[in-house]
Amino acid sequence: MGPRGCQRWGPGHRAPRARPGAPSSDADTTARATLCYREEVIRQSALTGTAVERRITFAEWTSLPEEEPGELVDGRLVEEEAPDAVHEVIVAWVIRVLGGWLIPQGGLVLGSEAKYAVSAVSGRKPDASAYMPQSRKPPRRGTIHAPPDIMVEVVSPTPRDARRDRVEKLHEYASFGVRWYWIIDPQERTIELLELGTDRRYVHARSAADGIVGNLPGVEGLSLELDALWSEVELLGPESGEGALGDPEAQSRCRTSCGTCLNLEPTLSAPPSS
């Protein structure tokens, strides 16, 4: 049996089937078709024991629910990396720092679920992106066709993911017209700032590993306190398994370097008197 609400639609595909008497629209049809296709891919993968390639359109990719991961690469839905806590701490830090500097000036910072049409057949979701005050802003909904001024990627530890950020996206973002590409490597604890040249190729503009990095190209006036960033990462627990966040030495380093870290020590209240 196939997924509920679907029917066979050629080899390996299913077409949506609306409920009798239910109103329908093009958007509803696209969403049902995408979900039916997803279920068929899962079914085929289970039967064959191998991954089945998913070819979808931009409209289908845009209509995927938020919990459905994946980027569009040459018309194929490609699985994203599973971010770890280190990745998420760094992304949150970048959004907080960029937003704190840009938003008061009329700029805009987007998170990791923004979908960009970087080419006619590819769509990407950078870890963070930013628009300068004078730049054309993205629409409220749907795929974004206006390139941001800055795209940020936090490199994941696997070779496949590192290649995607350093090779594939490097070329795609340059062709898309993203003026500055920031690459943050948690393993090496470095940040690289690349600037788009007149030949639509990135050139190295700045790199750093620690300290305060100022006079950043394109965002003059913004400073990145990398010691504060790495101190926030140190607040995490052990490499794997469960562990307490409250490393006293890490908290002390964080308070010393940035002065804004949360007090993670538990607060104990006295039991009520009988």
Establish if 267 belongs to a structural domain. no
Predicted confidence (pLDDT) per residue in 105-159, tens digit:
999 999 999 999 999 889 999 999 999 999 999 999 889 999 999 999 999 888 8
| Distant-in-sequence, close-in-space partners of 186: CB < 8 Å, separation ≥ 6 | 86, 87, 90, 154, 155, 157, 233
pLDDT exceeds cutoff 80 at 244: no
Banded pLDDT at 72 (limits 50, 70, 90): confident
Q: Phi and psi of 161, rounded to 5°?
A: -70, -35
Instruction: For residues 123 and 58, give the distance between their C-alpha atoms in angstroms, rounded to a whole number.
Output: 8
Please state whether 215 falls in left (phi above 0), alpha (psi between -120 and 50) or beta.
Answer: left
Establish if 159 belongs to a structural domain. yes
Which helix (H) or strand (E) is 101 found in, with range? helix 85-102
The alpha-helical segments, DSSP class H, found in 107-215 are 159-163, 169-176
Establish if 42 belongs to a structural domain. yes
Residues 198 and 107 in one domain: yes
Residues 149 and 73 in one domain: no
Please state whether 163 falls in left (phi above 0), alpha (psi between -120 and 50) or beta.
Answer: alpha
Residues 52 and 134 in one domain: no
Instruction: For residues 259 and 188, give the distance between their C-alpha atoms in angstroms, rounded to a whole number.
Output: 24
| Distant-in-sequence, close-in-space partners of 257: CB < 8 Å, separation ≥ 6 | 225, 227, 228, 231
Least reliable range by pLDDT among 168-172, 173-177, 215-219: 215-219
Q: What is the mean pLDDT of the chain?
A: 78
Residues 111 and 171 in one domain: yes
Predicted confidence (pLDDT) per residue in 218-237, tens digit:
888 899 999 999 999 999 99
Q: pTM for this structure?
A: 0.70
Least reliable range by pLDDT among 134-148, 168-182, 236-250: 236-250
Establish if 272 belongs to a structural domain. no
Instruction: For residues 114 and 123, give the distance between their C-alpha atoms in angstroms, rounded to a whole number.
Output: 10
Establish if 57 belongs to a structural domain. yes
Q: How many domains does the chain have?
A: 2
Residue 174 token pair:
């340059």
Residue 104 token pair:
């008061």
Q: Where is the domain boundary, 78, 111, 137? A: 78
Residues 134 and 59 in one domain: no
According to DSSP, residue 241 is labeled S
Residues 61 and 110 in one domain: no
* Contacts of 47-56 spanning 24+ positions with Cβ under 8 A: 52/12
What's the pLDDT at 184?
A: 97
Predicted confidence (pLDDT) per residue in 22-64, tens digit:
555 555 555 555 555 555 554 554 454 444 456 887 778 877 8
Establish if 31 belongs to a structural domain. yes
173 with 125: CB under 8 angstroms? Answer: no
What's the pLDDT at 175?
A: 96
Banded pLDDT at 174 (limits 50, 70, 90): very high
- The proportion of the chain whose per-residue pLDDT surpasses 70, expressed as a percent, equals 68
Residues 57 and 97 in one domain: no
Residues 149 and 200 in one domain: yes
Residues 185 and 118 in one domain: yes
* Contacts of 158-162 spanning 24+ positions with Cβ under 8 A: 158/81, 161/81
Strands 14-16 and 128-131: unpaired
User: Which residues are 208's β-sheet partners?
Assistant: 191
Establish if 183 belongs to a structural domain. yes
What's the pLDDT at 273?
A: 52
Q: Where is the domain boundary, 78, 98, 126? A: 78
Establish if 240 belongs to a structural domain. yes
What's the pLDDT at 98?
A: 96
pLDDT exceeds cutoff 80 at 268: no
**The domain containing residue 227 runs over which residues?**
85-257
What's the pLDDT at 171?
A: 95
Banded pLDDT at 217 (limits 50, 70, 90): confident
* Contacts of 203-212 spanning 24+ positions with Cβ under 8 A: 205/180
What average pLDDT does this structure show over 7-23? 46
What average pLDDT does this structure show over 247-258? 54
Q: Where is the domain boundary, 78, 96, 128? A: 78
What average pLDDT does this structure show over 185-199? 95
Q: CATH number of the domain that 184 lies in?
A: 3.90.1570.10
